[in-house]
Amino acid sequence: MKTIITLILVTFTITSGIAQEKNIETFSVSIENLIPFIVDNYASSFNDESANKNLTFLIQVSGVSLDIESKIVLKQAFKLLSKRLTENDNISIVTYSGFN
């Protein structure tokens, strides 16, 4: 039992050490500037980069849903982004309301 507990503690220590070494960049972009942001920051998929990207988009919606114009911009932006990433990259989309 003591060996198992020691192994678990060592695993947690190594895992937390590796997680702290990762570089996390955070950007705040309005929906109106999302497409220019993608064009400026994500090169075409023809450029082969060895590092896999893990992108998370946190989208704040007001009220029940987004307006039609914002939905169109988001749809076009994610189409553009999907063409610029490889199949090994990950995209997460999270929405939340500003209300409690």
What are the structure tokens assigned to 90, written together?
């990950």
Q: In the predicted model, what is the mean pLDDT of residues 4-26?
A: 80
Gap between the Cα atoms of 66 and 81, Å rounded: 20
- Read off φ and ψ for residue 9, nearest 5 degrees: -65, -40
The predicted structure's pLDDT at residue 87: 84
Q: In the predicted model, what is the mean pLDDT of residues 44-66?
A: 73
Position 45 confidence tier, pLDDT thresholds 50, 70, 90: low
Q: Is the pTM of this model over 0.85?
A: no
CA 9 to chain centre: 30
Mean pLDDT of the chain: 81
Q: Domain spans of the chain? A: 25-97
